[in-house]
Each structure stands twice: as C-alpha cells, then as structure tokens.
Amino acid sequence: MAKPKLKAHVIDREWCKGCGICVHFCPKDVLELDEEDKVIAARREDCICCKMCELRCPDLAIEIETE
Amino acid sequence: MAIKGYIRERFFPHIWCPGCGHGIVLNSLLRAIEKLGMSKNEIVVVSGIGCSSRISGYVDFHTLHTIHGRALAFATGVKMSRPELNLIVPMGDGDALAIGGNHFIHSARRNIDMTAIVMNNRIYGMTGGQYSPLSGYGTLATTAPYTNIDYAFDTVELAKAAGASFVARSTTYHVQQLTKILKQAILHEGFSVVEVLSQCPTYFGRKNRKGTAADMMEFYKDNTTPVGSKAKKENPDLIERGVFVEKEMLEYCREYEKIIERAMKGRS
C-alpha cells in the first residue's frame, strides 16, 4: 500500500476543548495547543498520517485528510 | 468525516468535560458501526442516566434515553418486540453495576442478543464525584474523603459468572483494539459485555491525583496487558484486556419464538 499523503488537518475549533490528548500522543510531535487552547498543526510537514489524533479525539474535532 | 453521518451534529460540542474518555468511546463506537456498514435504521441505542448515558443523544440512530440503571430492561422490551434490530446499550459503571446490577446479571443469564458497553470511569461524574462500585479500595471520592473501603467489582468476572456469551475489555488508549472488539460484540449473537476503561479527569483523576486525561491514558497503556500474556503471570496487578469469552449459546428471543410456536400449535 502506498504511503498516505497528507492533504490537511481538518480541525473544528468550535468542538475542540483543548484537552491535549492528540498533542500528547502524536508520535511526530506535529500538534500544539495555541493561545486559545485549541489544537493546531504546528509542524504539519512531519505528519505521517497515522490518524491516532483522529481516533483518540474525544470531541471528534480533528480529522486527517489524505490524498 | 464519514462517521459524522452517524451523529446529531446540532448537539455538538458535547457536554462531556475536556479529555473525558466517554468521547473516545463514542468515537470508537461510530467507527465500529461504520466499518460494519450498518444503516442507521437497524440500530437502537438505549441508555440510562449519567455522563455515559448522554451518548444516546449524540448518535443518529433509534435512541432511548431511559431511567437510571434500567437501560437493559428497556432494551429487552425493544429487542423482544423487534428482534431484527441491533441493540447497543452504553452504560456507566454505576448505572450498569450498582443501580442496574440486577438487570445486568439477568440480561447476561438470559443471553438476550444485545451489546452492553460498560464505560468504566470508576466514579459518578454527573452528580459530583461519589464513589461507585468500581472505584475500588483505597481510592478517594467526594463521598470517601478518607479513602474508600469498598472493594470493586471485576466487570469481566461478574459478566462471565452471570453467563454472558461474549465478554471483553479494552481502554480508551487502545482505540484500535476497542473498535475491533466493539465490532465483534455487535456481530455476536447473544449478550455481549464490553468493559471500557474510560478516564474521568474531572473527578476520579483530580481526587486521586492521576494527572491529565493523557496521563490517565498513559496509565492504561502501562498497566494493562493482552489477555493470557506472560506479563500478567509476572505482574498479577496488570489489568487484562481483550476477548475473555466468546461462545455460542441459545439466544433468548429465538427461544421465545419457539415458545410462541409451541403455544399456538393447531390454532391460528
């Protein structure tokens, strides 16, 4: 299977509660909480599209779109 | 997101606290249903009362939000009148095993075809952090400020002893395993029990100094082991996860059909 190619981190800022689970468990340290305690993809080029953030988000607030 | 087709988006963001494990259970459950390719109309979600039970309001299936501890009783009524539907009954640990303890063991004993999910956060969150039958000896709660002296139930052992034909456990850290187990449980014909260790950072975590939601999930990673592993023999304190029981047994609604046939013999 070909390596998935990242299209975008789709983040719903209304739904994100800033719990930090995705930030903590990201294996490549891609995600961060911003000054409003909402998740942002600070280092998107390091993303390997493992989708662990998407699967563990309690708020269904982050989705990894791949090509 | 494909799973968004299964939720009532108008009720989001949901009421659960930041980092609540129940949202992860919802996430995994939706993915399990999506992977099974089930239609919304063949699923009924019945819940009782508590943080966990709010889940029925968020999913776009047939849903019933019923009374405390009695979700399985309502689900039994639905299943017996419409046995072709798939029943999923998410409950909290107190809802399932304290208030609804009797319904739980007797549903297991009857082997009625439904999936009971015990979202175990070891506390009554909604009412302010009272200890539950799964808090366990030595834990702190609003109602146990000098530590709890009640021992906890082991949900898996209880379900096994009561006769459930599918018994499994996973955690909110092990989301891929959780989705797989939920799929298996939904497909299993008979009473399925899935215990999910689910963090409550607001009450259980804060009272017991367990750190953030992510810290509590790290705890699940470090303190659980696959069922039957060597690690468990070396360290008996580890909590086993995986499928404990999966057996074929006569299912209650099918047996009831036979009773109707027997009783109606020779009459129209």
- Given the candidates 3.40.50.1100, 3.90.550.10, 3.40.50.720, 3.40.50.970, the CATH classification of the domain at B2-264 is 3.40.50.970
Can you tell me which residue has the tokens 């109606």? B264
CATH of span A6-66: 3.30.70.20
List pLDDT tens digits, range A3-45: 889 999 999 999 999 999 999 999 999 999 999 999 999 999 9
User: Do the beta carbons of residue B25 and residue B117 sit within 8 Å?
Assistant: yes
pLDDT at A1 over 90: no
Contacts of B27 in chain A (CB under 8 A): 55-58, 60
Contacts of A24 in chain B (CB under 8 A): 212, 214, 217
Distance from CA of B22 to the nearest CA of A (A): 7
pLDDT at B1 over 60: no
Q: pLDDT-based confidence at B121, cuts 50/70/90? A: very high
pLDDT at B246 over 80: yes
Of B23, B28, B214, the CB nearest to A24: B214
B199-219 as b/e: b if 16+ CB within 10 A: bbbbbbbebbebebbbebbbb
CB contact under 8 A, B19 and A15: no
Domain boundaries, chain B: 2-264
What local confidence, expressed as pLDDT, does residue B76 receive?
Answer: 98
Contacts of B173 in chain A (CB under 8 A): 56
Interface check B181 vs A, CB under 8 A? no
pLDDT at A2 over 90: no
Interface check B185 vs A, CB under 8 A? no
Q: Show the tokens assigned to A22.
A: 């995705």
What local confidence, expressed as pLDDT, does residue B137 receive?
Answer: 97
Give the integer Cα–Cα distance in Å for B138 and B98.
Answer: 19
Domain boundaries, chain A: 6-66
List pLDDT tens digits, range B172-224: 999 999 999 999 999 999 999 999 999 999 999 999 999 999 999 999 999 99
DSSP states along B194-231: EEEE---IIIIIHHTT--SHHHHHHHHHHHEEETT-HH
pLDDT at B266 over 80: no
Contacts of A61 in chain B (CB under 8 A): 13
Q: Of A12, A13, A19, which to mutate for an interface test with B (greatest number of B Cβ within 10 Å)?
A: A19
CB contact under 8 A, B19 and A17: yes
What local confidence, expressed as pLDDT, does residue B159 receive?
Answer: 98
Between chain A and chain B, how many beta carbons pairs sit less than 8 Å apart? 73
Average pLDDT over chain B reads: 96
CA angle, residues B125, B127, B132, in degrees to nearest 5? 60
Higher pLDDT, A67 or B187: B187
